[in-house]
Structure 1
Amino acid sequence: MKLTLKRPARTTTIAFASLAAGMALTVPGLALAHDGHKAVPAPPAAPTSADQIQNIDQVKTAIKAYYGDTPTTTVAPGTATNPPTFIHTFNPDGAYAHEVEGIAARAAKELSHHHKRTANKAILFDIDDTTLNTYSYEIFSNFVYNPATNANFVNASDPQVFPAVPGMVGLEKSAEAHGYQVYFLTGRPITQKDGTILNLTRAGYDVDPTHVYLKDASGATEPWLSSCAPACTTVQYKSLTRQHIESLGVDIVANFGDQFSDLKGGFADSTYKIPNPMYYLP
C-alpha cells in the first residue's frame, strides 16, 4: 500500500543520544534518528559465515550491562513458581537511564522553543520502551516474546513491573506546560487498553483515554485502517493512525518511538528515536 502524505515532508529533528549535550541535527524530509553516531548494522538476511553474526549470549550480556541489570523483590506477574520468580529492572543511574534522560531533556528544550503559535499542537508517544520500560519482561522471558506471559505483565498495571522510561514523565509535563496535547499510540492489542492506561497513570503520566490508541487487528473500531486491515504492518498502522489524529485538526509536532517503524510514514513534524537494543519490530 502506498501512503499519501496530506502535506509535504517536513524538517525532522534527529536526537543523537551520544552527541554533545544539547546538540540536535535537522535534515530535510523524513529522516530518522539513530541511537548514537550511527545505527549498529544489522547482520545480513542470509549470512554466509558465522562471523557476520554477533554472538547472542554476548549481546544479551552487553544489553544487561547497558541497562544496569538490577534484581528486585517484586514477584513476576502471573507466575506461581516456588520459590517466586523475581523481576529485574534497569539501574536509574546507569548508561541507559542517562542516555534516555538526555534525549528527553533536549526534546523538552526544543519543544519549548518551537511552534508557539501553532493551534492544537501535540506530541505523540509510543508506549513500550518509549514511555513504559519493559526490561523486566525481557529478562523474565529471556528475550523471547510470549503473548500470554506478556499480557500478564501488561495487565498487572504496576509501575514496579513496567516503570516509566527515565525522563519521559518530565518531558510530558514540560510539553503540557507549553500547551501541547499528548497522545499515545501503541501496537498493544485493544484488549489491553484498561491495563495500559492504568499503568501509564500509576507511572506518573497524564492520560486522556480518548488520546490512547491501541491496535484492533480487525479494524472494526479503527475505520482509518480499512485500507490494510486485518494485516496492517506496523508502519501502516502507526502512520495511518497519525494521519487520522491530524485529520481531527491536531498538529503532531513531535513523534517519539523506540522502533524505526514507530517513526516512518510521516504525519509528524519531527521524530525522536529512543534507544532499545532488546528487540526489533519492522
Structure 2
Amino acid sequence: MSVLRTLRSPTALASLGAAALSAVVTLVLATPGSAGAQRPARSRPASAHTASAHAASPHTASAHAAPRAVPAPPKHPTRANQIQNIDQVKAAIKAYYGDTVAGRNPDGTARHVPAANGAYAKQMAALVRRAERYLNAARQRHTHRRAIVLDVDDTSLNTYNFEIDTNFVRRPAKSAQFVRARAFPAVFHMPRLAKYARARGYTLFFLTGRAAKLRAATAGNLTKVGFPAAPKGRLFLKDQTRPWLSSCAPTCTTIEYKSLTRKHIESLGYTIVANFGDQRSDLVGGYAEKRFKIPNPMYYLP
C-alpha cells in the first residue's frame, strides 16, 4: 500500500496498536473480509481464504491451540485500558521487525531496517514458500495468460525505514523524498517470488496507490532491489483519468481503484491467479483467484 497515504480512518491509531501486538505476540494476521465487487461470469471468485504465514491445517494435530490475534480496541473506548499503549506498540513493532541500523536515510538520519533473522523475515519466508507452492500447482489449471498482481509499498518494497524516521507520522513531503531517492529495500523474499512466478509463465503486474508522477522512481526502486523490470503497461499507479476508473473518478477509493484495475487486467485476457497486498483494501473487490496478505503492523489504510 502506498506510503504516500492521503487518507486514514479515524481509528487508524487504534488499528496500529492492535496490528502491531498481533504481529509480535501471535505472528498471526487477521484474515481480510471477502466482501467485494461482483465478478463477471468469466472471472473466478476470489479465494474464500487469504493465505498467511501461519495458517492452521485441519489435518495437523497440535497439543496447543493456535494463538489468536489481539482484538482491535473498540471504536468508542470508555476506559483507557481498552487501548494499547502507543509507546509499547512502537517498541513491539521494532522488536517484530528486528530493528537494525544500517547506513543513512536520504535526509541524513540513521537508516533503520528489518533484520534478516527477525520475526518479520521468518514470517515472510513462510508466506513466500506457501505462495510458491500455490503458484506451481495453479499453473496446471491455468495454461494461458496467467498473472499475479503485487502491491508496492510494504508488499514489494519495505517502508520501515521511513516509518521509523517519521515516528509513524504521515509526512507527505518526506515520503516523496524517500520515494524519489529510491530508498526502500525489498520486502524479504518477494523479489525471489516474482522471479519464481515469471520463470513459470506468470506475467507480473504491479499495482500501487502512489501518484502517477512517481512512476520512474517507483520502477527504478523495484529493479534496484531485484524485481524484474516492469514495462509501463504492467506498473499501474493511481491515475484517475484512466477510462476503466470512470465509474468512480475523480474520487476513487483504494478498493475501487484497485479492484477496477484488476478487472481491467483480466479484460486484457489475463487470469489473475494470485493477488498480493499488505492492506485489506489491496485485496477485496474480486478479480483474483487467491489473495495473499503480507504482514504490516505499521499502519492501516481503508
Post-superposition offset of 1:277: 0.1
Aligned to 1:45: 75
Q: Which has the higher contact order (CA 8 A, sep 6+)?
A: 2
Counterpart of 1:182 in structure 2 is 204
Could you tell me which residue of structure 2 aligns to residue 132 of structure 1?
Answer: 157
1:96 to 104, 120, 137: 120
The match for 1:58 among 88, 95, 99 is 88
Q: Does 1:16 align with 2:52?
A: yes
Amino acid at match of 1:138: E
Contact 1:18–1:37 (CA under 8 A) maintained in structure 2: no
User: 1:110: Cα distance to partner?
Assistant: 1.2
Runs of 4+ in 1 over 4 A off after TM superposition: 36-39
Change (3 A) 1:188 1:37: farther
The match for 1:156 is 181
Aligned to 1:73: 103
Cα deviation, 1:17-46, whole Å, max 9, x if unaligned, reads 1346xx599xxxxxxxxxx96544222221
Other-structure match for 2:236: 213
Superposition CA RMSD, Å: 1.9
1:231 and 1:24 map into 2 onto residues whose CA distance is 43
Partner of 2:40: 6
Cα shift at 1:12:
4.1
Aligned to 1:33: none
Inter-CA distance 214–140: structure 2 relative to 1 (3 Å threshold): same
CA contact (8 A) 2:145 2:270 kept: yes
Counterpart code for 1:119: H
CA contact (8 A) 2:208 2:236 kept: yes
Give the AA of the match of 1:5: R
2:147 match: secondary structure: strand
Q: Distance in 2 between matches of 1:190 and 1:10?
A: 28
Q: Give, in whole Å, the separation in 2 of the partners of 1:19 and 1:251.
A: 25
Separation (CA, whole Å) in 1 of partners of 2:80 and 2:253? 30
AA in 2 matched with 1:9: P
| Matched residue SS, 1:98 | helix
SS at match of 2:300: coil
Deviation at 1:229, TM superposition (A): 1.1
Q: Within 2, Cα distance between the matches of 1:232 and 1:238? A: 9
Q: CA, structure 1 residues 123+39, in 2 after alignment: closer, same or farther (shift >3 Å)?
A: farther
Give the aligned partner of residue 202 of structure 1. Answer: 224
Give yes or no for contact 1:17–1:100 (8 Å, CA) kept in 2.
yes
Does the aligned pair in 2 maintain the 1:238–1:262 contact within 8 Å? Answer: yes
Query: Which piece of structure 1 moves more, 207-216 or 175-184?
Result: 207-216
Aligned partners of 2:98 and 2:118 also within 8 Å: yes
Distance in 2 between residues matched to 1:233 and 1:43, nearest whole Å: 24
Deviation at 1:183, TM superposition (A): 0.4
Q: Counterpart in 2 of 1:111?
A: 135
**Would you say how many aligned residue pairs link Structure 1 and Structure 2?**
257
For 2:205 and 2:257, the matched residues in 1 are separated by 15
Q: 5+ unaligned residues in a row in structure 2: which ranges?
A: 1-35, 60-65
Structure 1 stretches lacking a partner, 5+ long: 26-35
Residue 114 of structure 1, CA deviation: 1.4
Q: Is the 1:16–1:37 Cα contact (8 Å) retained in structure 2?
A: no
Whether the aligned pair in 1 keeps the contact of 2:209 and 2:237 (CA below 8 Å) is yes
Alpha-carbon distance between aligned partners in 2 of 1:104 and 1:96, rounded to the nearest angstrom: 12
Q: Residue 121 of structure 1 contacts residue 253 of structure 1 at CA under 8 Å; is this kept in 2?
A: yes
Q: Distance in 2 between matches of 1:120 and 1:177?
A: 13
Q: Percent identity?
A: 52
> How far off its partner does 1:115 sit?
3.1
Separation in 2, partners of 1:40, 1:246: 36
Distance (whole Å) between structure 2 residues aligned to residue 16 and residue 130 of structure 1 = 13
Residue pair 1:224, 1:240 contacting (<8 A) in 2 also: yes
Contact 1:125 1:256 survives alignment (8 Å): yes
CA positional deviation for 1:87: 1.4
The alpha-carbon distance between structure 1 residues 263 and 24, as it changes in their structure 2 partners (threshold 3 A), is farther
1:11 is displaced (CA, Å) by 3.4
